[in-house]
């Protein structure tokens, strides 16, 4: 039997394990049930992939994230390891063949969603597999107190019944004590080995900075901290706007959001990762697989949705153990804005019933029917037809997705069909002249025998898998073949795809999940309040606040966060008096913005801002309608 370090060196080209990885792998090899709580970029996948390579048989990996499954499968294939993912684009017949390959084809990894585990076909075939390990990624999803609870995760218990002798490893980046307890109980762990690194980061300064002009403050931060940076914004439009603003100010910047094509995402990511661009402006879609150790600064322009996601995003800074900063910029309107954005659009049970009923009507699904039917979905058109508030409708669909009523794919999808319009000799003559198209075209011909006779729907993802290339590459070849008049091609794009996982029963369907909906809405309110409490608490060290949220105790102050710095360098009453006098002199001539006051003052900006707040409280000055200060 090969040693873990030999597997690591051979397939991953690493010569040593990170902290805790080796201990976790040894526990897995000893057939212990394990829970690994490792920080973002902590190398969680290594903890199950290495022991699974050592053990004879196949590892079942359960994950809710299609993009993550595809990314890990692609990475394993590049290493010469046989792996597959049962994602939603495959038909019943495709899955039948794929599961047979897992039984007889020496595959080492099978990735699937928790929803797949409810299918009789999948359960029956897994029963026949020589399973060597069960790995549960994003394990916090199994807990009703987790920040992304998915009831379908309860299906994982079925795997343990199918293979009671096989041990299980659960992995997550963040979990409170309550969530840890839920994971252990729900997965039926026996004498579990729990590995939890302290989340304390001695080199990472958590900063909460009050700033009315956030763009100006970002400029100052990026000029001072010239290293690689991530700026998180709320939506796709903001990524482009902030990127354009930074470029206009002379910064090298790019952007990332879920609506970009795979090629655009890869291009933008490479520009940033190679440090050709200093700044990545992104939505929270930018997170999976980021392993860039030299990120100097992570900035949140808006209040995050919850502490869990903020902690993961903040943790992408300073992975090289050098001093780094995670900054939230706040102003007076942020608290109201975060409540409006995340709480005012929480759908009630009745609203979800309405969305579900209209969704069924939209696709003309009859009562009692529709199970496992697949539909391309234009969300904007759906909301327009039924005059839905888009945010409430979207959140309703997310509830339906998490509770396994539907499966909502929010990736842009290609709906493709084609027919060969030349004869065999012409086609093969073309192949000889264009060898780069051979792999894709041969994969199509071997998969779709009727493509010479009639227009045939094509699964571009399946073709890409067979040809061992990207889906974008398949599309490019098809477009070239159309241009060269070898095929007729229909290529349409929809903004989502919906699979109905249950037969339509209208109110009955939603009544079964109504308690979960209400509990999740309450949890969302608690999460938002926790963020508000965090940014408003300027008495307790920011690092201590975050670590106590995740159940750590007896923590020393970090000494480098915004609270600790203010405590260390707070202005004395004498200093304050002198700064007040200086500000008074500056405002005698005319009103000024806080930025102008700071630029003209001989004191540090943080002290000036603090004294401005004191002067406002004492009513020595007041804000004008133009957001400038004047003497009262």
Going by C-beta distance under 8 Å and a sequence separation of 6 or more, which residues neighbour residue 7? 50, 53, 54
- Beta-carbon neighbour count of residue 20 at 10 Å? 17
Query: Three-state SS string across 140-180, please?
Result: HHHCCCCCCCCHHHHHHHHHHHHCCCCCEEEEECCCCHHHH
- 579-596 pLDDT per residue, tens: 998 999 999 888 998 888
E-only strand ranges, 274-321: 279-282, 295-300
Average pLDDT over residues 50-76: 91
E-only strand ranges, 260-411: 279-282, 295-300, 324-330, 374-377, 406-409
Domain covering 204-331+537-563 assigned CATH 3.40.50.300 in the classification: yes
Look at residue 228 in the predicted model and tell me its pLDDT: 97
DSSP, res 590: S
Distance (Å, whole) CA 422 – CA 486: 6
Which of 17-31, 412-426, 536-550 is least confident? 412-426
Average pLDDT over residues 282-297: 84
Q: What share of the chain in percent tops pLDDT 90?
A: 60
Distance (Å, whole) CA 625 – CA 632: 14
pLDDT averaged over the chain? 90
pLDDT at 89 over 80: no
Average pLDDT over residues 429-452: 88
Distance (Å, whole) CA 193 – CA 91: 39
Average pLDDT over residues 239-247: 95
Look at residue 264 in the predicted model and tell me its pLDDT: 87
Q: Report which listed range, 243-252, 373-382, 602-611, is most confident.
A: 243-252
Distance (Å, whole) CA 512 – CA 503: 13
Average pLDDT over residues 113-137: 93
C-alpha distances (whole Å) from 621 to each of 570, 617, 618, 629 are: 21, 9, 8, 7
Look at residue 165 in the predicted model and tell me its pLDDT: 95
CB 500 within 8 A of CB 409: no
Model confidence at 412, pLDDT cuts 50, 70, 90, reads: very low
- Beta-carbon neighbour count of residue 201 at 10 Å? 22
Distance (Å, whole) CA 280 – CA 267: 12
Model confidence at 554, pLDDT cuts 50, 70, 90, reads: confident
Distance (Å, whole) CA 414 – CA 322: 43
Q: What is 4-196's CATH number? A: 3.40.50.300
DSSP, res 318: -
Q: What residues are paired with 57 via a beta bridge?
A: none
Average pLDDT over residues 380-392: 91
Burial of 432 (0-12, 13-18, 19+ CB in 10 A): exposed
Distance (Å, whole) CA 329 – CA 352: 34
pLDDT at 149 over 80: yes
At 270, phi and psi to the nearest 5? Answer: -65, -40
pLDDT at 302 over 60: yes
- Beta-carbon neighbour count of residue 332 at 10 Å? 10
Distance (Å, whole) CA 347 – CA 349: 7
Q: What is 413-494's CATH number? A: 1.10.10
Q: Report which listed range, 39-43, 56-60, 263-267, is most confident.
A: 56-60
DSSP, res 495: S
Write out the residue limits of the CATH 3.40.50.300 domain(s) in the chain.
Answer: 4-196, 204-331+537-563
Going by C-beta distance under 8 Å and a sequence separation of 6 or more, which residues neighbour residue 109? 49, 52, 58, 59, 61, 72, 73, 76, 81, 82, 83, 84
At 280, phi and psi to the nearest 5? Answer: -115, 115
- 472-502 pLDDT per residue, tens: 788 889 999 999 999 999 876 566 789 899 9
pLDDT at 291 over 80: no
- 441-480 pLDDT per residue, tens: 999 998 887 898 888 888 887 888 888 887 778 888 999 9
Which of 234-248, 344-358, 485-499 is least confident? 485-499
The sign of the dihedral angle between the CA atoms of 151, 152, 158, 160 is negative
Look at residue 187 in the predicted model and tell me its pLDDT: 93
Look at residue 454 in the predicted model and tell me its pLDDT: 84
Query: HSE-up of 56 (CA within 13 Å, CB side)?
Result: 2
Look at residue 90 in the predicted model and tell me its pLDDT: 80
Average pLDDT over residues 250-273: 89
Look at residue 624 in the predicted model and tell me its pLDDT: 86
Nearest by Cα to 298 from 222, 237, 223: 222
Distance (Å, whole) CA 438 – CA 480: 12
Going by C-beta distance under 8 Å and a sequence separation of 6 or more, which residues neighbour residue 264? none
Nearest by Cα to 96 from 124, 130, 132, 68: 124
Distance (Å, whole) CA 310 – CA 308: 5
Q: What H or E segment, with its residue span, contains residue 359?
A: helix 349-362
In terms of CATH architecture, what is 570-631? Orthogonal Bundle (1.10)
Strand order in the sheet with 413-420: 456-458, 413-420, 487-494
E-only strand ranges, 401-458: 406-409, 413-420, 456-458
Burial of 364 (0-12, 13-18, 19+ CB in 10 A): exposed
DSSP track, 211-247? -S-HHHHHHHHHHHS-SEEEEE-SSHHHHHHHHHHHH
Look at residue 571 in the predicted model and tell me its pLDDT: 46
Q: Report which listed range, 80-94, 161-175, 426-440, 611-625, is most confident.
A: 161-175
Going by C-beta distance under 8 Å and a sequence separation of 6 or more, which residues neighbour residue 19? 197
CB 366 within 8 A of CB 357: no
pLDDT at 40 over 80: no
Q: Which residue has the higher pLDDT, 335 or 416?
A: 335
Overall pTM surpassing 0.85 (yes/no): no
CB 151 within 8 A of CB 513: yes
Model confidence at 625, pLDDT cuts 50, 70, 90, reads: confident
Burial of 218 (0-12, 13-18, 19+ CB in 10 A): buried
Look at residue 41 in the predicted model and tell me its pLDDT: 65
Q: What H or E segment, with its residue span, contains residue 133?
A: strand 131-136
Average pLDDT over residues 120-143: 94
CB 337 within 8 A of CB 302: yes
Average pLDDT over residues 599-621: 85
Nearest by Cα to 365 from 501, 498, 503, 497: 503
Domain covering 341-411+497-525 assigned CATH 1.10.10.10 in the classification: yes
> What helix, strand, coil percent values describe the chain, rounded to 5?
50, 15, 35
């Amino acid at each position: 039997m090969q040693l873990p370090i030999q597997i690591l060196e051979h397939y991953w080209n690493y010569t040593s394990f990170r902290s805790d990885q080796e201990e976790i792998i040894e526990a897995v090899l000893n057939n212990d049930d394990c829970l690994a709580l490792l920080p973002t970029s902590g190398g969680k996948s290594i903890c199950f992939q290495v022991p699974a390579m050592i053990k004879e048989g196949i590892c079942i990996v359960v994950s809710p994230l299609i993009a993550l499954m595809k990314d890990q499968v692609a990475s394993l294939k590049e290493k010469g390891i046989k792996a597959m993912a049962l994602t939603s684009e495959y038909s019943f017949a495709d899955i039948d063949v794929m599961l047979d390959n897992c039984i007889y084809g020496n595959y080492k990894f099978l990735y699937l969603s928790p929803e797949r585990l409810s299918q009789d076909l999948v359960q029956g075939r897994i029963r026949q597999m020589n399973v060597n390990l069960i790995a549960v990624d994003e394990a916090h999803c199994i807990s009703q107190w987790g920040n992304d609870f998915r009831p379908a995760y309860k299906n994982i218990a079925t795997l343990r019944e199918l293979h009671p002798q096989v041990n299980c490893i659960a992995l997550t980046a963040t979990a409170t004590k309550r969530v840890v307890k839920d994971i252990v109980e729900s997965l039926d762990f026996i004498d579990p080995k729990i590995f939890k690194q302290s989340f304390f980061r001695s080199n990472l300064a958590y900063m909460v900075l009050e700033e009315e002009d956030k763009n100006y403050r970002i400029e100052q931060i990026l000029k001072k901290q010239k290293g690689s940076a991530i700026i998180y914004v709320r939506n796709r439009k903001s990524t482009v706007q902030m990127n354009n603003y930074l470029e206009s100010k002379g910064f090298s910047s790019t952007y990332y959001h879920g609506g970009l094509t795979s090629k655009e995402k890869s291009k933008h990511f490479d520009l940033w990762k190679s440090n050709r661009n200093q700044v990545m402006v992104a939505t929270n879609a930018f997170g999976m697989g980021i392993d860039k150790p030299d990120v100097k600064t992570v900035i949140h322009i808006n209040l995050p949705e919850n502490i869990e996601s903020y902690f993961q995003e903040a943790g992408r800074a300073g992975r090289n153990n050098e001093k780094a900063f995670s900054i939230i910029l706040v102003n007076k309107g942020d608290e109201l804005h975060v409540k409006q954005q995340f709480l005012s659009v929480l759908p009630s049970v009745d609203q979800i019933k309405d969305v579900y009923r209209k969704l069924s009507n939209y696709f003309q699904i009859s009562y009692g029917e529709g199970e496992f039917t697949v539909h391309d979905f234009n969300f904007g058109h759906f909301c327009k037809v039924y005059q839905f508030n888009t945010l409430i409708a979207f959140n309703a669909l997310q509830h339906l997705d998490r509770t396994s009523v539907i499966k909502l794919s929010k990736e842009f999808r290609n709906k493709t069909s084609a027919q060969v319009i030349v004869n065999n000799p012409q086609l093969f003559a073309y192949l000889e002249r264009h060898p780069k198209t051979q792999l894709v075209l041969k994969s199509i011909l071997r998969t779709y025998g009727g493509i010479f006779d009639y227009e045939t729907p094509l699964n571009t993802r399946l073709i890409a898998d067979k040809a061992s290339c990207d889906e974008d590459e398949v599309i490019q070849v098809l477009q070239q073949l159309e241009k060269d008049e070898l095929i007729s091609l229909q290529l349409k794009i929809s903004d989502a795809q919906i699979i109905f996982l249950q037969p339509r029963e209208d109110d009955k369907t939603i009544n079964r999940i109504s308690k979960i909906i209400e509990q999740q809405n309450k949890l969302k309110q608690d999460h938002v309040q926790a963020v508000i409490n965090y940014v408003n608490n300027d008495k307790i060290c920011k690092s201590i606040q975050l670590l106590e949220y995740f159940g750590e105790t007896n923590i020393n102050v970090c000494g480098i966060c915004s609270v600790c710095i203010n405590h260390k360098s707070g202005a004395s009453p004498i200093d304050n008096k002198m700064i007040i006098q200086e500000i008074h002199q500056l405002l005698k001539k005319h009103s000024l913005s806080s930025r102008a006051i700071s630029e003209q003052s001989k004191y540090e900006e943080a002290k000036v801002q603090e004294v401005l707040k004191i002067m406002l409280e004492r009513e020595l000055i007041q804000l004008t309608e133009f957001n400038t200060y004047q003497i009262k």
